[in-house]
Amino acid sequence: MSAIRLLVLGAVRQHGRAHGYQVRNDLEYWGAHEWSNAKPGSIYHALKQMAKQGMLIAHEIAPSTVGGPPRTEYEITEKGTQEYLTLLRESLTSYDQKPDVLSAALGFVVDLGREEALELLEERVRGIEEWRTAVTEHYVPADGPGQLGHIGEIMNFWVHSADSGAEWTRGLIQRIKGGAYTFAGEGEPFVGVLSAGEENPYSTGETHPEDAE
Amino acid sequence: MSAIRLLVLGAVRQHGRAHGYQVRNDLEYWGAHEWSNAKPGSIYHALKQMAKQGMLIAHEIAPSTVGGPPRTEYEITEKGTQEYLTLLRESLTSYDQKPDVLSAALGFVVDLGREEALELLEERVRGIEEWRTAVTEHYVPADGPGQLGHIGEIMNFWVHSADSGAEWTRGLIQRIKGGAYTFAGEGEPFVGVLSAGEENPYSTGETHPEDAE
DNA sequence: GACCTGGTAGTCAAGTTTGAGTACCAGGGA
DNA sequence: TCCCTGGTACTCAAACTTGACTACCAGGTC
């Protein structure tokens, strides 16, 4: 599973209603073009595809005031919201060595409750540990390590990555347990999108958390 | 860049001449179906595509003795070998957060000389460190960290992964400097493919390094 | 007044990946 | 003998991704 659907659904959801270019800008604002496949083509494709599948509703809009071609605005449906939450939970839980999926999920983790987030992350740690056990048992059989030659370095690398991922996840769990961040149902949420007409992102060096949706 | 081309070129090269199913079996033998997108469709597509691009020569073969449809055998060309080495060097050097690309490169690293491998890996470490500096400077601007809210965890995760990757690479450099493994020009190479008629891989729990190509 | 840059918004063809097939044969039961 | 499993070898449609491209307008500039 790629991260694009989660990112797009999450972006549309935070806006309530958004057109492709807006989503594209949000993802850039989050840096997603650096750590995921959030290119224009993928974003527009995902929007169309998910509209076809009933997760978004497409509204045709007259050519905008600022010029350019006619836009299509998208609104998330109940089915889309379900899909969003499913993807989010899966992405937090499952260890599939795809850093972009986890990154995307981190951006939305506060849409869940604090307790649920902690449970999912703890399941993630358990998953990594199980995976580690399975791999080391399967690939270092009777005749001991070293028989693999340099091929063993591949496994070594996986295992190192898994350990590092587990360690990081435990750190995050501690921070969340310690009260960090504002989760669902804990008051004014942190807003990470650009509202219509807001200035460019990091070029100003400042975020504007004052305009909730 | 995905790992599939490197994997397929490397597999064909080790055999001298191979058909798709053989490549597919090798990749499974290496565990590549677990850490890369080495599915049948991708493998056959890569073979066809690279044949079209002159990196492989396709030979049509009569239906094999053991039944099944007619096979196509592929042979690597000079251009293909150049591409293979280029991909291999790039994959070792560049830090693009794609673990499958590095894993594939590790499987072939001994096709280079020991000195060159060390240089490439040291460049990899330098690349990771530069990337880390750039990211931390860009995303933690004037008003300090913490302004990012939970979004900062994304960056935290990237940085943690980068540090872990650098540390692992330094470890590998030490092992190689310490004389581990047999590199190009250092005698009988380690052979990691199944020759025609060899038994199944890990099901027997034993490797057969006795039949060189 | 013509041109050029830059932002807005999106399209398209080509390439890649996925998952589910297809076709064939051998060997082993019932 | 008929069917069923399992291995060999590959194909295909549908989905996804990529990179380059289009089209439009505003505002400056020469």
Percent of chain A residues past pLDDT 90, beyond the cut: 69
State which nucleotides on strand C lie below 7 Å from a protein beta carbon.
6-13, 15-26
Tell me what the pLDDT averaged over chain B comes to: 85
pLDDT confidence tier of residue A213, bands split at 50, 70 and 90:
very low
Q: How far apart are the first and last CA of chain A?
A: 29
Query: In the structure, how far is the CA atom of residue B187 from the C1' atom of nucleotide D17, in angstroms?
Result: 43
Q: Which of A47, A59, A41 is nearest to A8 (CA)?
A: A47
**Higher model confidence: residue B155 or residue A62?**
B155
Are B107 and B30 in contact by the 8 Å Cβ rule? The answer is yes
Q: Specify the pLDDT at position A149.
A: 83
Among chain A residues, CA nearest to B147: A207
Please state, in angstroms and rounded to a whole number, the distance separating the CA atoms of residues B121 and A183: 42
Mean pLDDT of B50-59: 95
Give the closest of A97, A190, A209 to B150, CB-based: A190
Report the 10 Å Cβ neighbour count for B157: 20
Q: Specify the pLDDT at position B193.
A: 57
pLDDT higher than threshold 50 for residue B205: no
Helix A114-139 with A152-177: angle, nearest 10 deg: 160
- This prediction has a pTM of 0.87
Residues of A in contact with B106 (CB under 8 A): 150-151, 153-154, 157
B43-49 contacts, C-beta under 8 A, 24 or more apart:
B43/B4, B43/B8, B44/B20, B46/B4, B46/B5, B46/B8, B47/B8, B47/B12, B47/B20, B47/B23, B47/B72, B47/B74
Q: Specify the pLDDT at position A165.
A: 97
Give the closest of B35, B109, B110 to A97, CB-based: B35
pLDDT confidence tier of residue A212, bands split at 50, 70 and 90:
very low
Q: Specify the pLDDT at position A125.
A: 98
Q: Specify the pLDDT at position B77.
A: 96
Q: Specify the pLDDT at position B47.
A: 97
Strand partners, A59: A73
**Higher model confidence: residue A190 or residue A23?**
A23
pLDDT higher than threshold 90 for residue A37: yes
| Of A100-104, A184-188, B192-196, the least confident | B192-196
Q: Specify the pLDDT at position B129.
A: 96
Tell me what the pLDDT averaged over chain A comes to: 85
Taking an 8 Å cut-off on Cβ atoms, the answer to whether B30 and A99 are in contact is: no
Query: In the structure, how far is the CA atom of residue A66 from the C1' atom of nucleotide C4, in angstroms?
Result: 19
Mean pLDDT of A27-35: 91
Mean pLDDT of B173-179: 97
Mean pLDDT of A121-138: 92
pLDDT higher than threshold 80 for residue A134: yes
